[in-house]
Amino acid sequence: MVTTDEKLVIYNAIDKSINVNKISKHAVSIIRTLQSKNFSAYIVGGAVRDLILKLEPKDFDIVTDAKPCEIKALFPKSRVIGRRFLLVHVKKGGAFYEVSTFRSGVSKNYIFQSHPLKKNNRKKYSTGDSEFGTIHEDAFRRDLTINALYYDPVKEQVYDFTGGVKGLLDKKVMIIGPPEVRFTEDPVRIIRVIRITAKLNFQIPSDIERHIFNKFDLLKDVSKSRLFDESLKMFLHGQGLASYELLRRFNGLKYFVYLSKKNRINKNSNQLFEVMLKSTDLRVKQKKSVSPHFLFAVLLWPSLLIQVSKLEKERSVVRKLMSISSKTVLTKQASIISIPKRYLFKIIDIWNLQIPLVERRAKDHQFIINHPCFRAAYDLILLRETIGEKLNDAGRWWTEYQKGNKCDQTKLLHEKAYNEKNYKLNTHFYE
């Protein structure tokens, strides 16, 4: 645990091998403008961490002792946003840079208070997070030591109040303040620890691991829409597989995905998720598009088939069973996190296309291949075959059909395929 007794350590950028060419010239310009008016200003957080680790910073957040109204006055092309705490978005070079004022609260006293509107009257720690403060107070109200580093690009110095540089050297994710308090204060910090640990391939100290196990259940009280956003940050930003492995270690996937069979994941389900996330990470690395609807279509696929298996005794047509089961699974998923409707419709389309993709009836092929969700549904077929599902060689067939000319396609259409009467889903594959 890091306390406020830590002393400020100043490092020269040269000592930390910071590549100044990786720093946004527009962020530096904003800082120079603020400093020219006798305000202090720094790049803060993940950008400083990534610069020290010789990674490419994703964005450059700026912090200053100037108040929002003073920042706004200095930058005509800016806008003030936020409710709980005001931030300023400064437009430079066609992009917006977030500029915030030093905050106080966490570094002084934790106020223990009950929230009567919370379920079970759960108590929560409150911090005076909406008060302006000093750079020292601002550092100690942050979550992690490695994200509480400040860089002055003018003086080329790194300011470390919490031992963040040591954390980077030791490859450990350390919490600022008592972990049990910080996780209770905002349970999403648990997700942040997991995501950053996965991204940097760092270690979580055993005492913090213990508190994560103890506090994971608090995520049930977090906004479902916020959990959806956090799930995309975990799974669609290049470290999805590593994040998934950490979630499994903490038995935490159930807080993001509806899982049948008492929240257990069998070998085939686990393999499906791993193959999908490995492929997704590669696409992110290659700067290719990734989609939330495909992510959840795959993560919920085993639960969908298990739900279908419960209805099979009704002897209804498989498509009808799929339709009923889809509604059931998505309703249960909605009680965990809130997936926007625009994605829900696409998830259903991906699932509905699985049967005709395997059946390969000649009269359907043009409709299927022109469907907006064809590519995602086809990718799910490939994933299912990769882990051993028997799908009538559908992956090979549709691959050749897409690549072939009209003559090749005609030959493919004459291949023997399933028909609606004899095709059945292997609903026990994921049980």
Percent of the chain, pLDDT > 70? 89
Of the pLDDT bands very low, low, confident and very high (cuts 50, 70, 90), residue 427 is confident
Q: Which of 70-84, 109-123, 380-394 has the lowest mean pLDDT?
A: 109-123
Which domains, from first to last, does the chain contain?
1-177 (3.30.460.10), 299-413 (1.10.3090.10)
Q: Per residue in 239-261, pLDDT tens?
A: 999 999 999 999 999 999 999 87
Look at residue 236 and tell me whether its pLDDT is greater than 80: yes
φ and ψ at residue 314, rounded to 5 degrees: -75, -15
Quick one: pLDDT at residue 106? 44
CA distance 115 to 175: 24
pLDDT of residue 3: 54
User: Looking at the predicted structure, is the pLDDT value of residue 77 above 90?
Assistant: no
pLDDT higher than threshold 50 for residue 120: no
- Which of the four pLDDT bands, split at 50, 70 and 90, describes residue 126? very low
Please give the pLDDT value at position 2: 62
- 8 A C-beta contact, residue 197 and residue 147: no
Task: Tell me which residues are annotated as active site.
Answer: 59, 61, 143
Q: What is the pLDDT of residues 134-143, one digit of tens each?
A: 999 999 999 9
pLDDT at 105: 63
Interstrand relation of 95-101 and 87-92 (parallel, antiparallel or unpaired): antiparallel
Name which of 289-293, 380-384, 409-413 the model is least confident about.
409-413
122 or 74, which is more confident: 74
- Three-state secondary structure along the chain? CECCCCCCEEEECCCCCCCHHHCCHHHHHHHHHHHHCCCCEEEECHHHHHHHCCCCCCCCEEEECCCHHHHHHHCCCEEEECCCCCEEEEEECCEEEEEEECECCCCCCCEEEECCCCHHHCEEEECCCCCECCHHHHHHCCCEHHHCEEEECCCCEEEECCCHHHHHHHCECCEECCHHHHHHHCCHHHHHHHHHHHHHCCECCHHHHHHHHHHHHHHHHCCHHHHHHHHHHHHCCCCHHHHHHHHHHCCCHHHCCCCHHHHCCCHHHHHHHHHHHHHHHHHHHCCCCCCHHHHHHHHCHHHHHHHHHHHHHHCCCHHHHHHHHHHHHHHHHHCCCCCCHHHHHHHHHHHHCHHHHHHCCCCCHHHHHCCCCHHHHHHHHHHHHHCCCCCCCHHHHHHHHHHCCHHHHHHHHCCCCCCCCCCCCCCCCCC
| pLDDT of residue 113 exceeding 50 | no
Contact predicate 2/162, CB 8 Å? yes
Amino acid letter, 37: K
Give the count of alpha carbons within 13 A of 44, CB side only.
27
The string of pLDDT tens digits covering residues 158-200 is 999 999 999 999 999 999 999 999 999 999 999 999 999 999 9
Name which residue leads in pLDDT, 132 or 99: 99
Is the pLDDT score of 222 beyond 70?
yes
Q: Return the higher-pLDDT residue of 347 and 110.
A: 347
The whole-number pLDDT of residue 264 equals 81
Phi then psi dihedrals of residue 400, to 5 deg: -70, -35
Q: 12 forms bridges with which residues in the sheet? A: 157
pLDDT tens per residue across span 272-308: 999 999 999 999 999 999 999 999 999 999 999 999 9
pTM equals 0.86
